Amino acid sequence: LPPLAVFGRTVSLFPLLFVLTVTAVKDGYEDWRRHRSDRKENNREALVFQSGQFEPKKWKKIQAGEVVKIWANETIPCDMVILGTSDPSGIAYIQTMNLDGESNLKTRYARQEMASVVANGGSISGLVRCEQPNRNIYEFTANMEFRGHKLPLSQSNIILRGCQLKNTEWVIGVVVYTGQETKAMLNSAASPAKRSKLEGYMNRETLWLSIFLLIMCSVVALGMGLWLERHKEQLDTLPYYRKRYFTQGRKDGERYKYYGIAMETFFSFLSSIIVFQIMIPISLYITMELVRLGQSYFMIGDKHMYDSSTDSRFQCRSLNINEDLGQIRYIFSDKTGTLTQNKMEFRRASVHGKNYGASLLPAESLHEVNVAGFPRRWKLQSEISVDLELMGMLHKGMDGEDKIDAHEFFLTLAACNTVIPIITPGLPAGDPGFDSLENMEEIVYQGESPDEQALVAAASAYGYTLCERTSGHIVVDVNGQKLRLDVLGLHEFDSVRKRMSVVIRFPDNSVKVLVKGADTSMFSTFAKGTETDDFIRISTQGHLTQYASLGLRTLVVAARDLTGEELEEWQCMYEDASTSLTDRAAKLRQTTALIECNLRLLGATGIEDKLQDGVPEAIESLRQAGIKVWVLTGDKQETAISIGLSCKLLTTDMHQIIINGSSEDECRNLLLEAKSKYCHKPSNCSDQPWKWTKDAAMDYLGILNYSKTGKRSAWSFGKEESMGSPSLALVIDGTSLVYILEKDLEAELFELATGCRVVLCCRVAPLQKAGVVDLVKSRTDDMTLAIGDGANDVSMIQMADVGVGICGQEGRQAVMASDFAMGQFRFLKRLLLVHGHWNYQRVGFLVLYNFYRNAVFVFMLFWYILCTAFSTTSALTDWSSVFYSVIYTSVPTIVVGILDKDLSHRTLLQHPKLYGAGHRQESYNLHLFWITMLDTLWQSLVLFYIPLYTYRGSSIDIWSLGSLWTIAVVILVNIHLAMDIQRWVIITHAAVWGSIVITYACMVVLDSIPVFPNYWTIYHLALSPTYWLTILLIIIVALLPRFFCKVVYQIIWPSDIQIAREAEAQRKRSYFKPKPGRDSG
């Protein structure tokens, strides 16, 4: 529109065309790549059974019901039920890396009835009924009618699209889901997007800038209307506002660029928006993305966060919340695999009421025991220490209840699991530590749970080696004699029962139920027995408490014999439940009630999961930084408390508040009792918050102490003073959380928990972990961080403001759902205290500087428009206005946002309390925004009026003055930036001073083009000393108040960061200072 053509058409279109072109090219390229990838994927071929043989067929044409053959290392094209494999037992090994990120091999089975037919080359005809397509990759409910029998199919019988076949020559299966109905495609949705807290505050300030913009535009429009009203009789004689054409011709008498006072006022408002649009820092969002990308590059390359044991480096999976790492208040951590190594070692065993494992011998002593009569055939991948007394009892030819219990105890450990043995024969003779190893075979156990692998390996070390597993039977080598056991049914572990059971038929046709599970769920299933049974139960409970106090993970082992009637009843219910297509899990739980009762206690196990290196030190530093660490674990309470003590999360002088309620009323009473004991509420006002008493946990971790007058005391670098009174630790179990999180007790728990220094949640389910995070996140503005390593931590990681995944032993689900990933928990200390602090300081300064940089330019234009009859003309060239944010001042901002460091990493790690600057929002807050705007207002006035009064009586044209304003504002904002740079490197110097040089170069080029109105102005100005003195005067006068305030503030009211910086500089000076007594000559 001509009335709105403030800039030239080319200049107006240039930014828009540039953005649209880049966006179109980027999106078009991504669409082309996506289309090419989809076409390549859909046109891949697989072998499909057609016309009596397997023939190639494109993936996109495969249909449900067809039979597919997959060779080793090929990718599965669809979800298919296994009919048979190259292994006669029907086992297939797959890798699910593309599906859930796990690199370890999984085992899948063909039903034994079908596997034998496929192995013999026979034909299969049947009908598969399965559930509707869904996104649950860990469950599959179906059944198959085969030769008059209905066979249950579960998740262990299906291979999902995207998996790869490994260590298996071929597999044949029937297709059940294809295309968009496969579980992989249904799970293709991205994880929830997260926004940084500082970006939310930035949007608030952007709203204020929008208000400023509207006010300035309204002032210009109102002034324009008043000016036109005042000069309406003179409009025909003005060059721009003539009402009619004066030239002869067909346009004589028509309106000339004038639309009436009302419309001219309206057009003036719109034109002002176009001129002042730079006030809204749209480019800031692009700048922040580039800065975050650069920050992520240096975080990924930090060698101090590289884990050599897993060969994993730090990962930035989300680029928009880097600065949130500098404001974390709460850390919610898993225990197993996060604080601990998740490398389980069998340490203790309670068998028949007797404790074993107090004195373990090295694995080399096994050879001496086995030479006595049972030659050792199996070599485990890792050495295991054993108890010599327990080993001797198992191998001596004596009978008794203790030996029978020990036999069934280790048989249960070997049989009640889903572990797959992989045997590697042909170890060379003469291996160190053994005399005769011609028959020695190495055995490796593959399993989804490190606990199960540790238990099976321990059973093997004691002479009960699981050496073969199929869907229908297992083979256990018991002291050199192979024992084949038929598996009649397997009830896998679930979070409701908290136990696992297997029904086994022995060679003598006797049937037993072997069970293992958590003590909380097992002791209620034992049969009432004799005094001996009661003694064993009491002794075992004492041993469990002892194991938990040592930080061991505990399990209880039990068994029972099944009669023919019980077996028949169970088989009937099991077959109906396992083949059901609806509520299969609930029906299977009902079936377990028939057999998981009246059990006979065999013993208990204690597995050690050692702490990761550096965990105690990391937790202590995080707590000194003012961060509260909450541990959410599925382990029992005693184990969690023991680990808490060993990792310095808990201390002996803490008051422990235990909340173990079994009903809503009990939980409410426990919470109220704790609150009444450790805190009180003012009686004069029921709406006032709770006030914690002196013996409760207090927020003493801040660096600065605020008095009632608001004055702050400086922080010294001396030894941290410990708090005189003990603090609180809250310990709560999952059962209590069921009643608290689902009822109206959340507020009570929140008030109690936030007043404690430490919170331990035990026996919690995955959704409860997310519920605890949401409890804090939804009630405070504090930043939360969740860290874990397993699939059970995914919901917690996605719920928190920042999610961190550990590359551990439990796969990569947590890593794939996280925002950041690392190899060890101890790296969290450096991530938050160093990179988090740096990123927050940089981005906070970046946002404020961009607000200032754009506002000072707009205010300068605003003062000019007020002096030019409220017209929207500009003294600056169109290209200078466009290049100001794109070229002249953008690069220094990005470089400083990536490279600037207010303190060294050594200082930040040595004094964790410096992290509190992020909690207090020292780098970015509303107070700093208004101070910046006041400073901007002053600088813009100086910038505009000094040149105006300097050249007031001269004959300089408006383009020359605009050229002076352009170079002056660029130099001013760059020196303003230089005043706040803490770390100068070569790239920083090049960016800051180079941008000034580039600005001069661009102006020389633009002023050398004859068609531009500013032709040759820079050459005339540069020859005048007044030009250079004016620029110098502008810089000094504009920045003098800012310089004075900075000096006064640092001398009288220094912040922690400034004190630390001065101490750092003092150390450097003392380091380079010559030593006294040394001859300098």
List all residues 6 or more positions away from 323 whose beta carbon is below 8 Å from its beta carbon: 196, 197, 198, 839, 840, 842, 843, 844
AA letter at 286? I
**Spatial separation of the C-alpha atoms in residues 194 and 212, rounded to whole Å:** 29
Note the Cα 900 to chain centre separation in Å.
Answer: 25
Would you call 334 a catalytic residue per the annotation? yes
Instruction: Please report the beta strands in 352-498, taking only residues with DSSP state E, as ranges in sequence order.
Output: 354-356, 378-380, 420-424, 441-446, 464-469, 473-478, 481-491
d(CA 1002, CA 425): 75
Helix (H) or strand (E) holding 922: none
Q: Which residues of 248-284 are buried (b: 16+ CB within 10 A; e: fewer)?
A: eeeeeeeeeebeebeebbbbbbbbbbebbebbbbebb
Burial 567-590 (b: 16+ CB within 10 A, else e): beebbebbbebbbbeeebeebbbe
- The number of beta carbons lying within 10 Å of the beta carbon of residue 183 is 21
Coil, strand or helix at 90: coil
Q: Which residues pair with 513 in a beta bridge?
A: 503, 560
527 neighbors 598 (Cβ within 8 angstroms)? yes
Burial class of residue 190 in the structure, from the number of CB atoms within 10 Å of its CB (0-12 exposed, 13-18 middle, 19+ buried): exposed
- 965 Ramachandran zone, left/alpha/beta (phi>0; psi -120 to 50): alpha
Strand partners, 730: 657, 759
Element (H, E) at 394: helix 388-395
Tokens 């076949």 identify what position? 165
Of 906, 1055, 325, 916, whose CA–CA distance to 624 is shortest?
916
Measured between alpha carbons, how far is residue 106 from residues 260, 456, 872 in Å? Answer: 79, 17, 71
Q: How many CA atoms lie within 13 A of 763 on its CB side?
A: 22
Q: What is the CA radius of gyration of the chain?
A: 38
CA atoms within 13 A on the CB side of 578: 22
- Edge to edge, what strands does the sheet with 655-659 contain? 315-316, 820-822, 802-806, 783-788, 328-333, 628-632, 758-762, 728-733, 655-659
Separation between Cα atoms, residue 667 and residue 566, nearest integer Å: 40
The pair of structure tokens assigned to 971 is: 């130099």
Is 884 in contact with 972 (CB distance < 8 Å)? Answer: no
Please state, in angstroms and rounded to a whole number, the distance separating the CA atoms of residues 451 and 417.
10
79 backbone dihedrals φ, ψ, rounded to 5°: -85, 120
Q: Which of 1037, 1007, 884 is nearest to 947 (CA)?
A: 1037
- Write phi, then psi, for 251 (nearest 5 degrees): -90, 5
Q: Say which DSSP state 611 is in.
A: E
Locate tokens 């044949």: which residue? Answer: 172
List the catalytic residue out of 79, 334, 477, 789: 334
Q: Which residue has the tokens 């238990």?
A: 455
CA atoms within a 13 Å half-sphere pointing along the CA-CB vector of 497: 23
Catalytic residues: 334
